Amino acid sequence: MADTLKTLTCPACGKTMEKVFIPSQGINLDICTDGCGGIFFDNREFDKFDEKNEDVSEILKKIEGKTFAPVEENLTRVCPNCGAKMVKNSSSIKQTIQVDDCYACGGKFLDNAELIKIREEYENNEQRDEDILRYVYKNIGSELAEQEAKYANIGGRKTFVRSLFNKLTGL
């Protein structure tokens, strides 16, 4: 999906989000710089910033030294891009961070400081996927492991494992 060019309203605090151009990726992120500090990622943008080795310097510059308003993190949010209800999902098997996902347009919203916390959970996506697989093997059994192997052979491992994790945890 293309970068959202329209001005977005923060789903957590209702303030206007600022477009922040990220030159290294050639995209605009929407950051609530005058409200709660939340970040909205259009479809497929989040994967460019969730690993420790990926550059988040432009994001950090925009939020550095600011004090952000607290928000109720447990409320259901509405996608600022398409207006659909967002769903809370865990960022990993550790279930420490809740990410607001829009199943309609693929957007993601993170509350203030959640991006940094997610980046601290694992070095990279491969470690995150390995953690999910260990959980599956330990808690679900060899039958599902065989299915995972089947999907891995046709290149759908990552998608299969993540969707399986979401189904198993109910998130």
| Confidence check: pLDDT of 144 > 80 | no
Q: How confident is the model at residue 147 (pLDDT cuts 50, 70, 90)?
A: low
The pLDDT assigned to 154 comes to: 55
Per-domain boundaries in the chain: 18-121, 125-169
Give backbone dihedrals phi and psi of 168, rounded to 5 degrees, phi first: -70, -40
The pLDDT assigned to 104 comes to: 95
CB-based contacts of 90-95 (< 8 A; 24+ apart in sequence): 90/169, 90/171, 91/117, 91/118, 91/121, 92/118, 92/121, 92/122, 92/128, 92/131, 92/132, 93/128, 93/131, 93/132, 93/135, 93/165, 94/121, 94/131, 95/169, 95/171
pTM of the model: 0.74
DSSP state of 66: -
Task: From 59, 53, 34, select the one nearest 115 (Cα to Cα).
Answer: 59
pLDDT single digits (tens) 74-121? 889 999 999 999 999 877 666 678 899 999 999 999 999 999 888 888
Half-sphere exposure of 23 (CA within 13 A, CB side): 2
DSSP state of 22: E
3-state DSSP assignment of residue 78: strand
Q: How confident is the model at residue 160 (pLDDT cuts 50, 70, 90)?
A: low
Give the type of residue at 117: K
Task: From 93, 106, 132, 123, select the one nearest 4 (Cα to Cα).
Answer: 106
Q: How confident is the model at residue 142 (pLDDT cuts 50, 70, 90)?
A: low
Which tokens belong to 47? 């994967």
pLDDT single digits (tens) 10-40? 999 999 999 999 998 899 999 999 999 999 9
Least confident range of 36-50, 68-82, 118-132: 118-132
Question: Which residues neighbour 142 within 8 Å (Cβ) at sequence distance 6 or greater?
Answer: none
The pLDDT assigned to 155 comes to: 53
